[in-house]
Structure 1
Amino acid sequence: MAPKEKVRRVTPSDHEVTPGTDPTDVTIDRVRFGATERRRPRIDENRAPISSVELSKGPTELAEHRGARVNWRVFTVSAAVIVAFSLWAMLAPDNAANVMRDLVLDIATNLGWFYVVTIVLVILFVVWVAFSKEGRVRLGPDHSRPQYKLFTWVAMLFGAGVGIDMLFYSVTGPITQFMMPPAADPQSAEAAQDAVVWTMFHYGISGWAMYSLLGMAMGYFAYRWGMPLSIRAALYPLLGKRVRGAAGDAIDIFALIGTVFGVATSMGIGVVLLNVGFAWLFDLPEGLALQIALVLVAVVMTVAGCLSGVDKGIRLVSELNIWIAAAMMLYILVTGQTAFLLNALVTNIGRFVGTLPERTLETFAYEPGGADWMGGWTLFFWAFWLAWGPFVGLFLARISRGRTLREFVVAAITAPVLCDFIIVSIFGNSALSVVMGGENPGFAELAIEQPEQGWYALLEMFPGAAFLIGLATLSGLLFYLTSANSGAMVMANFSSTIPDPAQDGAKWLRIFWALLTALLTVAMLVAGGVTTMEYATLIFAFPVTIIAYLVMASFSKVLRMERAEREGQIIRRRSAAAHGGQVPEKTWKQRLAQLRSYPSQKAVSLFVERTVHPALTAVADEFREQGYDATLSVAPNAETGVDERTLVVHMPGHRDFHYQAAAVEAAVPRLGGRPMSHGDDVYYKVEVFTQTGTEGYDLMGLTQQQVINDVLDRYEAHLSFLRYSSEHDYASLLTPTTPVAPDTAPSIPTVADDVERMEE
């Protein structure tokens, strides 16, 4: 029904204009809390959102098309850069290696501190998010729950975030730090104590903190706000609609190029290592030809795996990888020096924890050659994690819908890190035990000069070497496949515009990036192997540090909005709903009847049709009769089979009032091991939802009048929240989103005024 009042057109001459505003640059904005009208200065449409209501426009503003499509600007520029670099590396390998070596030395000397500070700030930020009150916020609505079981989820975290490079460095790293330590006497007791710890440090919390930062930011905006699953969406609170243009494309280009180089480096190290394993197992000649053949074989397997999707391919490979890696570690532990390895593991973890702050901030400024060591080790790994950050972060977000921020961060920086520690410690200490007595200097030299040979040389020293080498080669292959599969999927996503977070890039696009990554891998192998890969990773990861700072600023801004909303809610009591206000008042007979009532899907559907829908229809009609812009929509719910009813009262300049009645499946309580009903093990409730999740109570059994009263209670709570927001005028609060001239700005109506108008 149309509003009763007549709205007069207001011209710029009718009122004073806010000082500094062009009188001709004014738009008319009708805001109905009843029949209120106001005038606001026009604002920059591209500016960053400053409130939750503006942030809620993100899905519409960022998604120009409903379906997934290729972002040709990102795709073309990124592909051109990678092809040009690959051709340079293959046609002028010596020149490429020399130029990158000089550039890396300059970065290590002049910007090493910047990489170190960036990683420290990222660690502090994600820990602060996890243990703040906002750590309870979910990657999705408040009522969302995880898609994957804990073991499967952790396995996928580990498989995507750790590549075959960890096996490569688990032997050469500790041996190098023992023979050539950065700040101790070579082959001393002090060098031995730190040898494994340095490698644990490089594969520890720092990398996973970067993954956590980008993963939780992308997942939060995608699943809680309905934006695309991308880095540009995570920067929407900072850049506004500009992320849809050139600025957003530049961000995706940097992230995509860094991802390709990070994955190519892992692939290159992987084929160098697997080259030795396949040569040992199948008596094949080692060399570049076999490495290129392995790249081609791996690409075919990667394409097959990525086309099967996350659920079928990557999940199965991740779980299998966990079990094989565990079997390999158990075999080495049992057949090797068991007591020494266990004692060393405990010592290594203790020393890691005790020296973590000092080690994290160490730049070796006072050590001769400190910049060289930093560039070859710590800075390379930090750059490696930065390069992998966007791709692993996006993949982790993709599999973590429904997890809380605290659960996401704590799991990411503990479970996979502990797995890393076990692998590094067992391999590293097994290698150290061979060289610490000085009995086998040839093995130490081999592990430093030819790490891939050193790794397999260590495996040959155990009983049943053929079985262990076969198992280790299979484990390395699965490490490689998991990273390559998830990498191809993420590259396709970065080069696409995908409004739906559940979708992925086109299959042909994943195949293209798998092939291009293989080309880059071969190019870097030709140009100098692992060393050139390290140089390229450190160089191309630098722009990602800027992205990390932007994401931290953007995410902290939106978390302030979450805090403002929480603080604006009415203090919860036992009889209070989740987001403020009282739960519906029931008679004692209704309460008693509900204690043993476990309605079926059919009963709930009838209740919604006969009670809830008429009540919401009456309220919506009355809202419109009073001059409000109110809508009532009906949407199917495929999970429960009961249509959802959603009442929305639109409030321009403020967050809309949102009241949704939806069926929810629940388990029937059990007493003595038996369900309390004689039917199914599940029953259905009709819960009330707001924009951020469930209110936590059931409407079943209420009358139409009680449902109407509940709508008004929720509306009162909403107005109280808006009034609180206006009284606590923080920049990030959900307050009116535009500056208004003092003499024209309306006040938020009182609860009594609105309720009185509706009851009349």
Structure 2
Amino acid sequence: MPIDPPDDERPEPTPPSQQAPSAQAAKPHPPLERSKFGGTPRRHERPDEDDTPVSRSDLSKGPQELLEHRTSRTNWQVLLISSVVILAFSIWAILMPDDARTTMKATVDWIATTLGWYYVVTMTLVIGFVLWVALSKEGNVRLGPDHSRPQYQLTTWVAMLFAAGVGIDMLFYSVTGPVVQYLYPPAGEGSTAAAMQDAVVWTMFHYGIAGWSMYALLGMAMGYFAYRWGMPLSIRAALYPLLGKRVRGPLGDGINIIALVGTVFGVATSMGIGVVLLSVGFSVLFGLQHGLALQIALVIGAVVLTIAATTSGVDRGIRWISELNLWSAVAMMVYILFTGQTAFLLNALTENIGRFLLTFPARTLQTFAYEPGGAQWMGGWTLFFWAFWLAWGPFVGVFLARISRGRTLREFVIAAITAPVLCDFIIVSLFGNSALFQVLQGNMTFAELAVESPERGWYALLGMFPGAMFLIGLATLSGLLFYLTSANSGAMVMSNFSASIPDPSHDGPKWLRIFWAVLTAVLTVAMLLAGGVTTMEYATLIFALPVTIIAYLVMASFYKVLRMERAEREGQVLRRPTMAPIGGHVPERSWKQRLEQLRAFPSLRQVTQFLNRTVRPALDDVAAEFRNQGYDVVRDTMTNANGIEEPLLRVSMDTFRDFHYQVAIVEAPVPMFSGRMSRETDVYYRLEVFTQTGSGGYDLMGLTKQQVIDDVLERYEAHLAFLTFSSETATPSVLTPSILPKDQQSAVPKDAGDIHDLGDKKE
């Protein structure tokens, strides 16, 4: 399952230039004597500090409002409350296992009967939402600034998605699922041709698009705010547009607690299923006694290895294990395909995929309301898996976001719901159809074993292939690697959820990872004592229920932000043809300037000198002229990570969105194909223009003072065109007020040409 990318492949932290302005820059503007928008001059303020963001200008304050400290800190409220909940449940399950099992069964029966429709509708809406994001025009928005590009090649990225798509729980259900659906289908008679056609498809459905849509939803939301807006990689950051600065307080802590507790139960369930399965393999291979003692020993072993990896700095070795588990799974699938019933398996796989695609919409909304015992079947299968994916959503979402910086939302969603799902389909179909082939041959002893003891049924199937001991050993190794990777990755993600981490590329402290590894192990043992896999299914279904609230909040929050992106994009359409469609225009340069720029790779000292000698005076002149003409202007600075003050120009637009022009120093790699064949460094520095939507993607280095002034005015004209569009279209609660007074409906300045005389001033 997911594993953190290597340190040397982690995305660079969001530059300070993309983070929120300083407190000084955010101070109220002084009153104006007159306003370009007519009416009584008003400052761009909101009376209520807790108002939620309604513009991208508000969103730019997110990093400042979300983080009380600029260094990683443990969130003790989240840590203590989550730990108490999990520890209390564990103690209850250990001391009173029968009572725990009975109570959870009664709760699950109530949920399945009363709220089954709610789980179904929730997952359907999640699927529809992520598909809408991918297919809409906002699908071109990147997980990062507009100029960012993916850090991984397409093949590497897809391979990492494949690695995240396989878990040991899938091996567990890949045999028992199809056999149960064939013998005891949710509707109709069992052991029939119709039941056979749907047996594998039901398991494919449970491991298909629904789960990965949930992962994609949380992954793209967290990645968007982390890499495009410089916020922490967390659930609470994804809810900032909806809840504002309140996500930093008790409300945000409550959301993190829900996500964290759900994740812990999801990981514990996967670990519990894993040890139940692996204990049979160890018993077959090494003659150990299969039972609870061996299962607890495997849990302890996973904790020891996680602690060793955390304290000894061998995380890279764990990452190699995560790659090895993918290749071992591929080897296992190839072995089963070519030593088993090859033609039958390939024919069945093709038919299974076709039937899945044909029946997917109907299955998505299927609740079996008219079938006797339909609620019980839903609770044991569909609802359990939906709860499983809800619980794992924050966990896998963090991993997907980590490896997808620079990808567009469309790339992210389409890849997430296709590549890993195809991997799941292959595994489920090969195992499931191999099991069904044995049942069709009349091997009912195997069928009963697969139903009553899924872990024994899985190994019984492996024992029917040529070279059975080799295949059992390979399968046990593969399952063990999946198990260890999930344990280590789960501890890492839990430590992140219980800490405040400003940099999305960093993790929680090591001691916190160890703490969660131990506590998850305690919970796993507790559920094993309380009834094994069945109790784990009950707990997952119960504790995932609050996570559905997070899913709805994230969808509402992300929808609000995408409306802002749409308004920004459609405003840019009104710009003149000489401007670039994304990121604004590129300043005109002479041919000598263009040629010089092709081989110029300035140092930090050189760009700082140019910033002070050319850019800063140009912005000072522009700000002075704006003030002379009655505009409300702020000329401020922001200090970057190197301690250099970067200039910022902001023009107040009364009740509309402010004009924002910032010049920031950005580090970039020197291209290997450049004209400068020998170089002293691998990086150079650029002076990029940032608005509230990120970098314009061009460099001011080498321009004259007059060219910089012209660039500011071009940007300002583009901003006026955007405001014109915003005031003429229905964009309530996004960038403009929902209802404007009549005297302001045409108030966006059409006489902005009176500032064009700046363009005629000489240096």
**TM, length-normalised to structure 1:** 0.88
Equivalent pair of 1:599/1:684 in contact (CA under 8 Å): no
Letter in 2 for 1:396: L
Asked if 1:166 is matched to 2:170, the reply is yes
Letter in 2 for 1:695: G
Partner of 1:601: 601
Partner of 2:618: 619
1:168-226 CA-to-partner distances (Å, cap 9, x unmatched) read 00000011111111113211111111111111000000000001111111111111111
Equivalent pair of 1:660/1:690 in contact (CA under 8 Å): yes
Partner of 1:706: 707
Equivalent pair of 2:143/2:408 in contact (CA under 8 Å): yes
The alignment's C-alpha RMSD in Å is 3.2
Partner of 1:561: 564
Partners of 1:208 and 1:130 in 2: CA distance: 14
Partners of 1:620 and 1:118 in 2: CA distance: 51
Partner of 2:486: 483
Partner of 1:23: none
Equivalent pair of 1:622/1:758 in contact (CA under 8 Å): no
Partners of 1:495 and 1:33 in 2: CA distance: 50
Stretch deviating more after TM superposition (276-285 or 727-736) = 727-736
CA 287–367 in structure 1, closer or farther in 2 if over 3 Å, else same: same
Equivalent pair of 1:38/1:746 in contact (CA under 8 Å): no
Query: What's the secondary structure of 1:576's corresponding residue?
Result: coil
Equivalent pair of 2:231/2:237 in contact (CA under 8 Å): yes
Equivalent pair of 1:175/1:444 in contact (CA under 8 Å): yes
Asked if 1:630 is matched to 2:635, the reply is yes
Partners of 1:82 and 1:88 in 2: CA distance: 10
Query: What's the secondary structure of 1:424's corresponding residue?
Result: helix
Partner of 1:550: 553
Partners of 1:571 and 1:669 in 2: CA distance: 38
Asked if 1:175 is matched to 2:179, the reply is yes
Aligned partner (choices 440, 459, 465) of residue 462 of structure 2: 459
Stretch deviating more after TM superposition (578-587 or 67-76) = 578-587
Partners of 1:197 and 1:371 in 2: CA distance: 20
Partners of 1:374 and 1:718 in 2: CA distance: 53
Partner of 1:15: none
The within-5 A match list for 1:49-198 is 49-198=53-202
Aligned partner (choices 207, 210, 220) of residue 206 of structure 1: 210
Stretch deviating more after TM superposition (625-634 or 163-172) = 625-634
Partners of 1:707 and 1:374 in 2: CA distance: 64
Stretch deviating more after TM superposition (546-555 or 707-716) = 707-716
Partners of 2:728 and 2:256 in 1: CA distance: 39
Partners of 2:169 and 2:585 in 1: CA distance: 56
Question: Shift of the alpha carbon at 1:568?
Answer: 1.2
1:577-608 CA-to-partner distances (Å, cap 9, x unmatched) read 344764333446656x46xx731424x77874
Equivalent pair of 1:644/1:660 in contact (CA under 8 Å): no
CA 636–112 in structure 1, closer or farther in 2 if over 3 Å, else same: closer
Partners of 2:571 and 2:74 in 1: CA distance: 42
1:2-59 CA-to-partner distances (Å, cap 9, x unmatched) read xxxxxxxxxxxxxxxxxxxxxxxxx985266998853578622112111111111111
Partners of 1:711 and 1:514 in 2: CA distance: 53
The within-5 A match list for 1:412-427 is 412-427=416-431
Partners of 1:634 and 1:44 in 2: CA distance: 28
Stretch deviating more after TM superposition (568-577 or 746-755) = 746-755
1:436-493 CA-to-partner distances (Å, cap 9, x unmatched) read 132x111011111111011111111111112111111111111112222221111111
Asked if 1:449 is matched to 2:452, the reply is yes
Question: Shift of the alpha carbon at 1:334?
Answer: 1.0
CA 264–450 in structure 1, closer or farther in 2 if over 3 Å, else same: same
Question: Shift of the alpha carbon at 1:571?
Answer: 4.0
Partners of 1:716 and 1:169 in 2: CA distance: 60
Partners of 2:89 and 2:609 in 1: CA distance: 67
Partners of 2:84 and 2:664 in 1: CA distance: 51
1:599-625 CA-to-partner distances (Å, cap 9, x unmatched) read 1424x7787467565321222222443
Partner of 1:492: 495
List gaps (5 residues or longer) in structure 1. 1-26
The within-5 A match list for 1:305-344 is 305=309, 312=316, 315-344=319-348
Partner of 2:652: 651
Partner of 1:8: none
Partners of 2:297 and 2:156 in 1: CA distance: 32
Partners of 1:630 and 1:579 in 2: CA distance: 26
Partner of 1:350: 354
CA 700–500 in structure 1, closer or farther in 2 if over 3 Å, else same: closer
Equivalent pair of 1:623/1:758 in contact (CA under 8 Å): no
Question: Shift of the alpha carbon at 1:756?
Answer: 3.6
Partners of 1:683 and 1:504 in 2: CA distance: 26
Equivalent pair of 1:687/1:694 in contact (CA under 8 Å): no
Partners of 2:210 and 2:149 in 1: CA distance: 28
Question: Shift of the alpha carbon at 1:153?
Answer: 3.1
Partner of 1:289: 293
Query: What's the secondary structure of 1:520's corresponding residue?
Result: helix
Stretch deviating more after TM superposition (314-323 or 331-340) = 314-323
Partners of 1:549 and 1:585 in 2: CA distance: 47
Letter in 1 for 2:635: A
Query: What's the secondary structure of 2:616's corresponding residue?
Result: helix
Equivalent pair of 1:598/1:684 in contact (CA under 8 Å): no
Partners of 2:585 and 2:189 in 1: CA distance: 70
Equivalent pair of 1:40/1:740 in contact (CA under 8 Å): no
1:107-158 CA-to-partner distances (Å, cap 9, x unmatched) read 1111111100111000000000011111111111112222334344334434
Equivalent pair of 1:568/1:721 in contact (CA under 8 Å): yes
Aligned partner (choices 501, 504, 508) of residue 504 of structure 2: 501
CA 266–666 in structure 1, closer or farther in 2 if over 3 Å, else same: closer
Letter in 2 for 1:433: F
Partner of 2:3: none
Question: Shift of the alpha carbon at 1:739?
Answer: 9.5
CA 746–60 in structure 1, closer or farther in 2 if over 3 Å, else same: farther
Stretch deviating more after TM superposition (354-363 or 623-632) = 623-632
1:466-521 CA-to-partner distances (Å, cap 9, x unmatched) read 21111111111111122222211111111112222122111111111111110010
CA 634–365 in structure 1, closer or farther in 2 if over 3 Å, else same: closer
CA 644–413 in structure 1, closer or farther in 2 if over 3 Å, else same: farther
Partner of 1:21: none
CA 365–307 in structure 1, closer or farther in 2 if over 3 Å, else same: farther
Partner of 1:298: 302
Query: What's the secondary structure of 2:142's corresponding residue?
Result: coil
1:520-570 CA-to-partner distances (Å, cap 9, x unmatched) read 100000000000000010011100111111111111001000111111114
Equivalent pair of 1:214/1:390 in contact (CA under 8 Å): yes
Partners of 2:394 and 2:176 in 1: CA distance: 27
Partners of 1:630 and 1:314 in 2: CA distance: 50
Partner of 2:224: 220
Query: What's the secondary structure of 2:493's corresponding residue?
Result: helix
Partners of 2:566 and 2:313 in 1: CA distance: 37
CA 589–530 in structure 1, closer or farther in 2 if over 3 Å, else same: closer
Partners of 1:148 and 1:587 in 2: CA distance: 36
CA 736–179 in structure 1, closer or farther in 2 if over 3 Å, else same: closer
Letter in 1 for 2:460: A
Partner of 2:732: 731
List gaps (5 residues or longer) in structure 2. 1-26, 628-632
Stretch deviating more after TM superposition (115-124 or 497-506) = 497-506
Equivalent pair of 2:709/2:759 in contact (CA under 8 Å): no
Letter in 1 for 2:624: E
Letter in 2 for 1:494: F
